[in-house]
Amino acid sequence: MRRRKFVGTGSLAALGIVSLNAGVLYGNWYKDAIIGHGSHRYKIDLDWGKLNSKQFPVKDCHEMVQDAKGRIILLTNHTQNNILIYDRSGKLLDSWGHEYPGAHGLTLHDENGTEFLYICDNERHEVIKTTLDGKVIQIFPYPKETGKYQKKEEYIPTETAIAANGDIYVADGYGAQYITHYDARGNVKNVFGGRGEADHLFNNAHGICIDDRNPNDPILLITARQQNKLKRFALDGTYMSTIDLPGAYICRPVIHNKHVYLATIWSGDGSEGTGFVSILDENDQLVSAPGGNDPVYQNGVLQPMYQALTIFRHPHDICVDNDENLYVAQWNSWGTYPIKLYRV
Amino acid sequence: MRKALWKKWRKQVMSMVFVAALGAPVLWGQSKKPIFLSADEVQLAAPKIGMDSMLFKKSGTLQMSTSQGATIRYTLDGTEVGPTSSEYSGPLVISHTVQLRAMAFHPDYKPSVEQIVNLRKIHSDISSAEIEVNPLPHENYLGTGPKTLINGKKGSINFRNGHDWLGFQTEQVEIDLKFMQALLLEKVVLSVLQDQGSWIFSPNHISINYKGLEIGSKTIEDCGEEANKKMDFIEIPIKNAVYDQLKITVESLDQIPSWHPGKGTKPWLFMDEILVE
């Protein structure tokens, strides 16, 4: 996909009118591509966040979060700058981090008014809690005390989720597939999951989040990526139910208002170069799939999904900002920067 | 390229004219505003092709799908697909060895790449033959053992799924076949994967020997050239005769060519089936 430079216009509204008029008068030449379905449709900015790749390189763009100031924080496994901090227009504000060669999972948690980051490092086999400017607060090594691990190499954590009480859940998505549950001080409280095909087990427990859409009854959402499933667990690790998303290799669930957003790294039969974005509503229905085919339910069962447009290459995470625009971080996409989707 | 530049220039000028006509302020370079991707720069994904089996004994049923608003056009005679090729409207029953070529078209988006799938009728069942593969495949791509190559089952293009592919990262692979009964043969067919994005290349040379005598060979001249992902059947004509055994030697490229990110390293070789006719 070619990236373009274009004239700057005064306001977003003006740009909108331009493309509308141009579209009407000049056929398809000037029609902005709009992707997604139903209420969740987007225009695409491929140039967002593009930097000088010698000065601020990225390898895999693994995950992104937005902090309380509205800044967009990107985690990459390039040790020249593991963290890149942008404003929403894509301007670089800050960068730090050289010691996270396997930087993979990035979670932000507000601890009584102070925000912290939790970085899962695949190569260090541990989770690191830092301040927003990179000071290390705590390291969670491999959880030997659970009795599930003999050596650190068996533990390859991919994601964390932090509950309101400060409890920490770590998904070992590339390792033994256990979910380790710590208290806020880092003492192991519980371990559940593990590798397997049964409902309460995982094949690639890649992403985890706290689903607090019902504030009185928060639960865990955990992806079983290779199984194309999103699984619900109680906070005590009891399996509850599964949402089937055939053809969607979902990375991590991200809750925003009533919806769940999931980067979908491969699609269809899992072929190289595929992927799209999955958006579920509060009834667990796939309501929009930007870059994917139209979601179709037959007798309540989602029909297999596949890539429809070749816009994305292995989306690995979605960040939803306060304007409900999306930032798509991609894995193994030739060192390209994230793509921004503007909701229309 | 010139055409693209002209289009881009035209689009820029037209946008400026519209902005001016509407009286909107043009604040050159003051803040970074998004430039949206236009529909005509977006390419459709190739049609999704489903077949109950790419190898069949009598016939197989083929289904294709694409996104809403797009149409699928296809050929079955090996010719390139164009905007006037047959439009797909429902499942096709295939009873002969054919090459299916299909593309998706849409009024707003660029047509997809051409998807090429070879569907093959099995002539001789050799699943009971004795087979030895030397060296053994890489431990991650062992299939279900050497017999994978003669079980009549085709792997999917996503080689990570299932256990139908044998993957090698060696200079050459020797396959020894001993048939339960002698067969009159004129052709050996090797089913391989080409997925250069995953460092998997077609083989460079295949030779067939019978008791130390070469009875057929084929060189794939363009196996190092950049090409789309596909599953391929390579046909190697052999001296028409009755054989009770064959030795098949498959050689890879020495190294991945210089245009590829993996240049200089040994390419992978993936095979899922050997057929004789």
Buried (b) or exposed (e) across A57-66, using 16+ Cβ within 10 A? bbbbbbbbbb
| pLDDT, mean over chain A | 92
Q: In this complex, is the C-beta atom of B134 within 8 Å of any C-beta atom belonging to chain A?
A: no
Under DSSP, the state recorded for B207 is E
Chain B neighbors of A298, CB-CB under 8 A: none
Cα torsion B40, A315, B230, B118: sign: negative
- Nearest one of A294, A299, A268, A266 to A279, comparing CA atoms: A294
Tell me the per-residue pLDDT of A237-272, one tens digit each, with 9 for 90 and over.
999 999 999 999 999 999 999 999 999 999 987 788
| Global pTM value | 0.79
ipTM of the complex: 0.86
Which amino acid is present at B212? G
Chain A residues inside the 8 Å CB shell of B66: 293, 308
pLDDT at B10: 52
What was the pLDDT predicted at A269? Answer: 78
**Tens-place pLDDT, residues A104-126:** 999 999 999 999 999 999 999 99
Q: Do B34 and A342 lie within an 8 Å CB cutoff? A: yes
Query: Under DSSP, is residue B229 helix (H, G, I), strand (E, B) or coil?
Result: coil
Opening angle at CA B147, ends B141 and B148, nearest 5: 45
Closest residue of chain A to B23, computed from CA coordinates: A14
pLDDT given for residue A201 in this prediction: 97
Q: What is the pLDDT of residue B30?
A: 39
Give residue A213's pLDDT band: very low, low, confident or very high (50, 70, 90). Answer: very high
Q: Which residues, in sequence order, are CB contacts of B2 under 8 Å at separation 6+?
A: none
Whole-number pLDDT of residue A79: 98
Give the pLDDT score at A268.
86
Which amino acid is present at B208? I
- Please give, rounded to a whole number of angstroms, the shortest distance from the CA of B160 to a CA of chain A: 8
Percent of chain A with pLDDT over 70: 92
B128, amino acid identity: S
Of B18, B30, B40, Cβ closest to residue A22: B18
* B27 Cβ under 8 Å from any chain A Cβ: yes
The whole-angstrom separation of Cα B110 and Cα B45 is 9
Q: CA–CA separation, A9 vs B157, rounded Å?
A: 45
Q: Directed axis angle between helix B2-21 and helix A12-25, to 10°?
A: 120
CA distance A63 to A263: 10
- Which structure tokens are listed for A22? 């141009």
Separation in Å, CA of A211 to nearest CA in chain B: 31
pLDDT of residue A4: 41
- Taking an 8 Å cut-off on Cβ atoms, the answer to whether A30 and B67 are in contact is no
Taking a C-beta distance cutoff of 8 angstroms, is the pair A343, A41 a contact?
A: yes
Q: Residues A6, B7: contact at Cβ < 8 Å?
A: no
So what's the pLDDT on residue B73? 98
Mean pLDDT of A7-11: 35
Contact yes or no for B31 and A45 at CB 8 A: no
- What is the reported pLDDT for A183? 97
* Beta carbons of A12 and B38 less than 8 Å apart: no
Model pLDDT, residue A17: 39
Low-confidence ranges of chain B (pLDDT < 50): 1-5, 17-31
Largest separation between any pair of C-alpha atoms in chain A: 68
- Residue A83 amino acid letter: I
Assigned token pair, B164: 């139908």
With 0-12 / 13-18 / 19 or more C-beta atoms within 10 angstroms meaning exposed / middle / buried, residue A180 is: buried
CA atoms within 13 A on the CB side of B209: 10
CB contact at 8 A, A94 and A133: yes
Shortest CA distance from B31: residue in chain A: A8
The kind and range of the H/E element at B160 are none
pLDDT digits (tens, 9 = 90+) for A24-38: 444 555 799 999 999
User: Is B151 near chain A, with CB under 8 Å?
Assistant: no
Q: What is the pLDDT of residues A269-320, one digit of tens each?
A: 778 889 999 999 999 999 999 999 999 999 999 999 999 999 999 999 999 9
Residue A293 is predicted with a pLDDT of 95
Please list every residue in chain B whose beta carbon sits closer than 8 Å to the beta carbon of residue A23.
Answer: none
Contact indicator for A266, B160 with CB cutoff of 8 Å:
no
Q: B33, A12: Cβ pair inside 8 Å?
A: yes
pLDDT bracket for residue A331 (50, 70, 90): very high
How many angstroms separate the CA atoms of B101 and B56, rounded? 18
Q: What DSSP character marks residue B114?
A: P
- Contact status, residue A204 vs residue A227, Cβ threshold 8 Å: yes
The Cα-based distances of A51 to A136, B31, B223 in angstroms read 26, 16, 36
- For residue B182, which phi and psi values (nearest 5 degrees)? -65, 145
Side-by-side strand order, sheet with A286-288: A248-256, A259-267, A276-280, A286-288
Residue A12 has pLDDT above 80, yes or no: no
Q: Quick check: A8 and B198 CB within 8 A?
A: no
